[in-house]
């Protein structure tokens, strides 16, 4: 399979059959080979620098019912919360002190926050912290809303596509949600001028090498600036409670392939990866990741934003987590930089 990995490096694309066989039939040795190549590519572009994003999970109310997600609306056990603009700004202030220059506002699809409210939050952050980037991750909206948030100063938008295979998408979501609509949102966001992030869970129920091959083809077509992937982890209050979690090994291999295909892409080592392995983030970096997104939400709400079971870093204060992370990153020969951490073109 080394020749396919070389081909992916050279051409930045493979056919669907080639991706499928590479994902299905690779050896441990191929994983090492891919990780080494991926790390070299990332080092050549981003050096030893790791970008950090302060994640503010500002609401766990959600109008959707994604089958895998712990904050789905039908989970009656979830203890719901919302942060006010003032609370969000406090998180940013604390984050700024700790060296964060990107704030990611993530939440369920919560109609409580009108477009005006989101615009107001974005404007307030951008005027107080003019050297910071604001990333939104608040789901599927109308083009007009996306445009308004962008005009208010939002720089980036994260919306994982979850799977690029239609049939698979329907097995993970209720009928009112469609892959077509989600993909449209991503193309619209790019069109408006956002730096865009898509992504998927590794090892989600019904995922196959073939659906993953389609993810790679979709990502190649969309050309996002970021791709977020992390293992699927079952949540006890969902219908997938008894499904198996995605593995560390497969997540690392797919991270490497993403880096080899989309050389400059911003690639986070996710919290889900740290949750399935105590040094998951460090291993993610060694496989080609160059971003980490620690939590900045107030500690009293942290454990309520549970998309999956066992999530790490829910008890730590922002400062503790920040320093812990720094040590972890240094332990593998990298360092955190105080920077917006924008996508690099060359
Ligand atoms: N395991 C892992 N990741 C999950 N997400 C949602 N539920 C889970 C789960 N059970 C991911 C989705 C979503 C992102 C915010 O979190 O991919 O887009
Ligand atoms: Fe969050 Fe260690 S990285 S506590």
- Residue 296: pLDDT band (50, 70, 90) is very high
99 CA to middle of ligand 2, Å?
Answer: 16
Using an 8 Å Cβ cutoff, are 102 and 55 in contact?
Answer: no
Q: Is the pLDDT of residue 345 over 90?
A: no
Determine whether 40 is exposed, middle or buried from the number of CB atoms within 10 Å of its CB (0-12, 13-18, 19+): middle
Residue 286 lies in a domain: no
Q: What's the mean pLDDT in 242-263?
A: 98
pLDDT tens profile 143-155: 999 999 999 999 9
Q: Is the pLDDT assigned to residue 274 strictly greater than 80?
A: yes
Residue 7 in any domain: the answer is: no
Per-position DSSP letters for 165-198, written without gaps between them: -HHHHHHHS-TT--HHHHHHHHHHHHHHT-EEEE
Please name which ligand lies nearest the alpha carbon of 293.
Answer: 2
CATH number for 143: 3.20.20.70
Give per-residue pLDDT as tens, 34-87: 999 999 999 999 999 999 999 999 999 999 999 999 999 999 999 999 999 999
Structural domain that includes position 295: 46-254+291-337
Residue 321 pLDDT exceeds 80: yes
Owner of token pair 């080592």: 269
Domain count, the chain: 1
Within a domain: 1:
no
User: Tell me: the pLDDT tens digits for 112-150?
Assistant: 999 999 999 999 999 999 999 999 999 999 999 999 999
Cα distance between residue 329 and residue 13, in whole Å: 30
- Residue 316 included in any domain: yes
DSSP conformational letter for 344: P
Q: Is any atom of ligand 1 closer than 6 Å to the C-beta of 121? A: no
Ligand 1 atom 3, closest CA: 232
Ligand at shortest distance from the CA of 203:
1
């Amino acid at each position: 399979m080394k020749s396919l990995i070389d081909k992916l490096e050279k051409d930045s694309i493979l056919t669907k059959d080639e991706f499928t066989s590479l994902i299905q039939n690779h050896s441990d040795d191929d994983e090492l080979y891919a990780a080494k190549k991926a790390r070299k590519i990332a080092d050549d572009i981003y050096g030893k620098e790791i970008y950090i994003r302060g994640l503010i999970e500002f609401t766990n109310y959600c109008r959707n019912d994604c089958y895998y997600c712990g904050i789905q609306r039908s989970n009656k056990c979830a203890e719901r919360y919302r942060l006010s603009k003032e609370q969000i700004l406090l998180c940013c202030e604390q984050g700024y002190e700790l060296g964060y220059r990107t704030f990611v506002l993530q939440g369920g699809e919560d109609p409580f926050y009108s477009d005006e409210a989101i615009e107001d939050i974005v404007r307030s952050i951008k005027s107080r912290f003019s050297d910071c980037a604001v990333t939104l991750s608040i789901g599927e909206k109308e083009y007009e809303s996306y445009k308004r948030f962008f005009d208010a100063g939002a720089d980036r938008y994260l919306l994982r596509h979850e799977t690029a295979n239609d049939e698979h998408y329907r097995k993970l979501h209720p009928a009112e949600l469609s892959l077509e609509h989600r993909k449209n949102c991503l193309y619209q966001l790019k069109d408006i001028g956002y730096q865009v992030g898509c992504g998927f869970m590794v090892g989600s129920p019904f995922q196959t090498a073939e659906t993953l091959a389609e993810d790679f083809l979709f990502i190649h077509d969309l050309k996002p600036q970021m791709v977020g992937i992390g293992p699927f982890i079952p949540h006890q209050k969902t219908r997938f409670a008894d499904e198996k979690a995605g593995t560390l090994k497969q997540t690392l291999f797919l991270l490497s392939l993403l880096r080899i295909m989309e050389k400059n892409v911003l690639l986070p080592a996710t919290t889900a990866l740290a949750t399935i392995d105590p040094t998951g983030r460090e291993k993610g970096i060694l496989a080609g990741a160059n971003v980490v997104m620690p939590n900045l939400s107030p500690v009293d709400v942290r454990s309520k934003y549970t998309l999956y079971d066992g999530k790490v870093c829910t008890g730590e204060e922002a400062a503790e987590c920040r320093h812990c992370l720094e040590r972890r990153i240094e332990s593998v020969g990298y360092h955190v930089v105080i920077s917006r951490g924008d996508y690099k073109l060359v």
